[in-house]
Chains A and B, each alone.
Chain A
Amino acid sequence: MIRAARRYAPFALAGLHAVTQYRSTIVLSAITAAAATALQVFLWREVYVGGSAPAGLPFVHLTSYIVLAQILGLLHTNRIDELIAGEVYRGDIAVSLVRPVNYALSCLAVNLPTAAVSAVLAGVPVLAGFSLFASLPVPTAANLALFAVAVLLSVALAFQINFLVGLAAFVTTNTWGIRTIKNALVAFLAGQVIPLALFPADVVTLLRLLPFQGLIDSPLRLLLGGYGDWADAGRILAVQAGWVVLLTGVMSLAWRRSLRKVEVLGG
């Protein structure tokens, strides 16, 4: 374990080093997150004022949900799909493949600290800013603990989904289109655009079986107390964890298949 950490830590440091070179990106993502959050908060306020509050998400939690969904979104925006697609397109994948490391883990090591740093640096000011304007309810200690576990699983899921999308580059070389569709679709299915609780009951049941809800919906339900009893909370985590395990298997299969397709001609 320590050996693994020592071997992959340099990738993480290299990733962080790169972030510090592009500080303006963090400032811009903070501004974007703040603007998007403000827009959504005002929009949903109008919806709630106009009619009766939809079931499943009390109004007091709505602002918290929107703010935190944005911050989680930042934590999930790893560039792994872009990274893999770029390496395949330029042929630099050849260099990555002659290193004695697991490719997926090295991608994770490069991107994870980067995502965490940008989530904290952009997220904390946004959260602080909104808590000044709106009274955000303070979560219970138990919910906070459940949330912490769910966030870790959500980060794993975000990495896995992006890794798999990146592997598409081995087949299509150019993945810009796929990545754009993925970004829109994942944000929608995760509950980042519209809280899943506001969908019709049948649709919610279905969406909550998919891996994408594990990104935003699961952690925030646990944090905001949107679950029944302890067994229900356990089920939410189990679905997330189940997908992490399943996708790990899929990744390993897909990676092996992708390697067969490596064609780096010239150079």
Chain B
Amino acid sequence: MIVAEHVSKHFKRHRREPGLRGSLRTMFSSQYDLVRAVDDVSFEVPAGVKIAYIGANGAGKSTTIKLLTGIMRPTTGQVRVDGLDPHRRRVEVAHRIGVVFGQRSQLWWDLPVLDSFRVLRHIYEVPRAVYDRNMRLFRDRLDLGALGNTPVRQLSLGQRMRAEIAASLLHDPAVLFLDEPTIGLDLVLKQAVRDLINHVNAELGTTVMLTSHDIGDITGICDQALVVDRGAIVHQGTMRELLRSVDTRAVTFEYAAGSVTEAEALQIIAAELPDVRAIPAESGRIRVEYPVERWSARQVIAVLLNRFDLTDVLVPDADLETLLRRIYAGSPAEPVSVGDGA
């Protein structure tokens, strides 16, 4: 559904020097820096997949979305959405995609929300039945009816984002691009938006591409992940594979008070499980971090059961947040105190 072949996007940016003197000097210079926002990126997203496009700020996520939505055209390489070049056949592609830019509005600033939807209905030539079905869905899931006749400019950020997401789905797009879609939403609404997107994907087979820094969005919506770093793809595969690429996992346990001291416990672990890091965690717990290629969770727990009078054991999921932090930082991340199963 979405194809990128050796796509690069380079910008020329006028080199500016700091300060007034620098500003004056740059008025008479024509030096440019070449910014490689996207660098030789290739990927393919099959129809019906919900994929997270993950990367640190400035990694080229937004630029890629703009290439895929036809707003910009790549410096080199090719993109295809539903078989079409989105830049050259912009209007046709626009009919088949829905886009939410978390920081820009596609609604009419001076129009009430419902009027905006009527406008969009005509622009996208949405059949009456589809329009009615979708408006009902938005009313049920996003409580859109409550926004009624308020002009868009008077909405709160959360209200506006709800309307934006609904607007992007009104014409049953084949592909939905979401750039930070849950900015400003509270926990309940975030969940409502995730449920709505999953519902639309399940019912209509909508392909979803999401960029977000919200771990909950990524794990709550996406089944695949595309990780981009400094303009290049560093990982593509299912969410499960991404999590499996975590090379350190942890087991946290609690033991009967008074049976051994903390120092003794740490010594026991060090002796029985080489290459493992044992760290005292809060309220008397101990966190055991083990390299996955050396030990399995089963082996670690077996040792713990054997040597301690266990009162509690916590074996959290591979931690996406830790993984992402490491990818973003480009270096091994600091261990987090408690894995919460995110």
Contacts and interface: CB of A to CB of B under 8 A. Distances in A.
Nearest to A261: B72
A102 B101 contact: no
A47 B63 CA distance: 61
B284 to A, nearest CB: 47
**A interface, how many residues as a size bin?**
20 to 34
B202 interface: no
A177 interface: no
A93 B70 CA distance: 12
A220 B72 CA distance: 44
A3 B123 CA distance: 10
B123 A99 contact: yes
Nearest to B124: A100
Nearest to A9: B122
A94 B66 contact: yes
Interface stretch (A12-20, A31-39, A143-151, A181-189): A12-20
B122 A97 contact: no
Contacts of A264: 66, 71-72
Contacts of A266: 62
Contacts of A262: 71-72
B118 interface: yes
A232 interface: no
B225 to A, nearest CB: 22
Nearest to B12: A263
A95 B125 CA distance: 18
Interface string A32-75: 00000000000000000000000000000000000000000000
A95 B110 contact: no
Given A3-B125, A265-B11, A259 B73 contact: yes
Contact of A10 (B62, B72, B99, B122): B122
B23 interface: no
A95 B101 contact: yes
Nearest to A14: B108
B66 A10 contact: no
Number of contact residues on B: which range applies?
35 or more
The interface residues of chain A, by DSSP majority, are classed as helix
Contact of A97 (B70, B92, B118, B125): B70
A10 B119 CA distance: 5
Contacts of B124: 100
Contacts of A21: 110
B62 A267 contact: yes
A264 to B, nearest CB: 6
A174 to B, nearest CB: 13
B277 interface: no
Contacts of A94: 66, 69, 71, 101, 104
A21 B71 CA distance: 31
Given A10-B119, A265-B11, A267-B101, A98 B110 contact: no
Contacts of B119: 10-11, 13-14
A265 B37 contact: yes
Contacts of A93: 71
A97 B90 CA distance: 8
B17 to A, nearest CB: 19
A101 interface: yes
B66 to A, nearest CB: 6
Interface of A: 3, 6-7, 9-11, 13-14, 17-18, 21, 91-95, 97-102, 259-260, 262-267
12 contacts: A9-B122, A17-B108, A17-B115, A21-B110, A93-B71, A95-B104, A97-B71, A98-B94, A259-B87, A264-B66, A265-B11, A265-B63
Given A6-B125, A91-B104, 20 more contacts: A7-B123, A7-B125, A9-B122, A10-B119, A10-B120, A10-B123, A21-B110, A94-B66, A95-B99, A98-B106, A99-B94, A100-B91, A100-B123, A102-B91, A263-B11, A263-B72, A265-B37, A265-B62, A266-B62, A267-B62
Closest 8 CB pairs of A and B: A10-B119, A100-B94, A267-B103, A100-B95, A97-B71, A98-B99, A18-B110, A95-B106
